[in-house]
Amino acid sequence: MSTPPSKSHGRKAIRPTLKPASLMDEAPDLVGVWQARIITLFPDAFPGVLGQSLTGRALHEGKWQLHTHDLRAHGLTKHRNVDDTPAGGGAGMVLRADVVGPAIEAAQSHARGRWPLVYLSPRGKPFDQAMARDWARCDGVTLLCGRFEGVDERVLEHYGVQEVSLGDFVMTGGEIAAQAMIDATVRLLPGVLGNAASTEEESHSAGLLEHPQYTRPSEWNGRAVPDVLMSGNHGEINKWRRAMSEELTKARRPDLWSRLGLDTPSK
C-alpha cells in the first residue's frame, strides 16, 4: 500500500470538471509540485525507469508527479481509432487532429503558470541540459508521444506545440524519449538529489564534459588513481579537474568547445 505524500510537498487542488471519471487521473494534483503529463497510446509504459532510483523515490515522496493521458480514450468509433492514412498518399498512418486535440485539452486543463506543451519529434529542437534546467524551473510540462508517421500538422499549429528531439535518429514512438527528458529534468528539482553540488560538476552543466572520476581501490589492474587526487590539495585537485574537462571536451566534443570560445580546438 503506497504512503501518501507529505503535506510539505503540496496540497490537493480541487477543480470543478465536466469530464467523466474514466478520463480523470487517479492521483489528485498537488499544488506547488512539479508535474509531468504524458499523452500516449501506451500509458502502461510509465513510470518505467522513472519509478526507480532517485526519481522513483522522489515520485513516491511527492516531490514531483507523473500523470498519463491515454490517447486511445479519445479515439473515434467503437474501435477507438486514433489514426488515418496520410493526405496525399504515402506509407504509414497519421494521428488524427480530432483525437490528439481533445487529449491535449484534457492534459492542459491541469496546466498552470509556465507549462511547456511539447511534441517529441525528430525534427524538433535538440533536447539539452539548458532545456532540462528551464523545464525544472517551470510548473510542469506536457509531452505528446507520437507514433506511426506522426501527428496531423494542424493540431501542432493550433495549440502552438513545441517540437523537441532527443537526437538525430528515429524511434518507433516518443515514450522512451519522454522518460529520458523527464529523468534529466526531475533530478534538477529541489530535494531530488541528496547533494545539489553534484549537478554543478556534471557534463554539460558548465558547458564542458565532466572530468574523469575515480574511487577505491587506489590501484586496480596496475592502474593507479592520479596522485593529485590523493594529495589532499583541493586547489590543485580543482585545477586538474578543470584541465581534464577541457581536454576531454576539445577531443570528444569540438562543437561544445568551439561554442565556449576559449581557444581553437586541438587538431
Using alpha carbons, list the distances in angstroms from residue 251 to 48, 70, 110, 142, 208.
35, 44, 45, 37, 11
Distance CA(151)–CA(145), nearest Å, equals 9
Q: pLDDT exceeding 70 applies to what percent of the chain?
A: 84
Helix (H, G, I), strand (E, B) or coil at 19: coil
Pairing of strands 162-165, 117-126: parallel
What average pLDDT does this structure show over 45-55?
97
Query: Could you read off the pLDDT of 55-88 as tens digits, one per residue?
Result: 999 999 999 999 999 999 999 999 999 999 999 9
Query: Could you read off the pLDDT of 191-233 as tens digits, one per residue?
Result: 999 765 455 555 455 789 999 999 999 999 999 999 999 999 9
Domain boundaries, the chain: 33-186, 201-260
Domain 201-260 belongs to what architecture? Orthogonal Bundle (1.10)
Q: Count other Cβ atoms within 10 Å, centred on residue 214.
A: 14
Q: Which CATH number fits domain 33-186: 3.40.190.10, 3.40.50.1370, 3.40.640.10, 3.40.1280.10?
A: 3.40.1280.10
Distance CA(80)–CA(72), nearest Å, equals 6
